[in-house]
Chain A
Amino acid sequence: AQSVAQPEDQVNVAEGNPLTVKCTYSVSGNPYLFWYVQYPNRGLQFLLKYITGDNLVKGSYGFEAEFNKSQTSFHLKKPSALVSDSALYFCAVRPLSSGSARQLTFGSGTQLTVLP
């Protein structure tokens, strides 16, 4: 069975500073990895995904994530944080191999607060 760990419940960063939201995963075989963002009273919005290829993935709103197979990590990053980035961020995984589960397994979420 797959699992996702987001070790930080809360991350605070000053506006304009770089931000990192951490994610590690466990899955049989190669993973598909995702980041979603949840704003208050709204659904989860897809940010970016890693399937294969370049370990650095670029997504919406200037976010990027780095896949590290040896450390089984997929940390979310942004070079310069905005106050409007404040939200709840979820990392998710599913196995790559065909015939395996299609559903996503989510982490428990990290609340990002960007301070003006």
Chain B
Amino acid sequence: GAGVSQSPRYKVTKRGQDVALRCDPISGHVSLYWYRQALGQGPEFLTYFNYEAQQDKSGLPNDRFSAERPEGSISTLTIQRTEQRDSAMYRCASSLGTRSYEQYFGPGTRLTVT
């Protein structure tokens, strides 16, 4: 079946603009995770959901970042008033459940803030 998809794949925005990044998990996957990956580094956790409930948002760097998954499927990560330091690859992953250990990653959204 289809894997995790993310859109857009590339996003260039001006400093101060808001952006919304979308993640469509594998069908039937309960858990959805957002990570951010800087160049040359491993992914770093941002937040995760079980169904529509946000279980942990401890990795969100500040209150400009928010995420939702209103119907327990597609999720949106929103960054308000973007800054150049927000430039990174944003990756989404899903798993069958939190007891289903491996996470399957999407291709990522490359965000560049100019």
Contact = CB atoms under 8 A, between A and B. Distances in A.
B102 A108 contact: no
A34 B59 CA distance: 20
A90 B42 contact: yes
Nearest to B42: A106
B55 A102 contact: yes
Contacts of B91: 43-44
B88 to A, nearest CB: 14
A46 B93 CA distance: 11
A108 B42 contact: yes
Interface stretch (B12-20, B64-72, B77-85, B105-113): B105-113
B4 A105 contact: no
A25 to B, nearest CB: 13
B41 A108 contact: yes
Q: State the main secondary structure of chain A at its contact with B.
A: strand
Contacts of B31: 102
A4 B3 CA distance: 27
Interface of B: 3-4, 31, 33, 35, 40-45, 48, 55-56, 59, 91, 93, 98, 101-108
Interface of A: 4, 32, 34, 36, 41-46, 49, 51, 90, 92, 94, 101-109
27 contacts: A4-B42, A32-B101, A43-B4, A43-B91, A43-B106, A44-B43, A44-B93, A44-B105, A46-B104, A49-B101, A49-B102, A90-B42, A90-B43, A92-B42, A94-B101, A102-B33, A102-B48, A102-B55, A103-B33, A103-B56, A103-B59, A104-B103, A105-B45, A106-B42, A107-B42, A108-B40, A109-B42
Given A43-B4, A43-B108, A90-B43, 10 more contacts: A32-B101, A45-B105, A46-B102, A46-B103, A94-B101, A103-B33, A104-B33, A106-B42, A107-B42, A109-B42
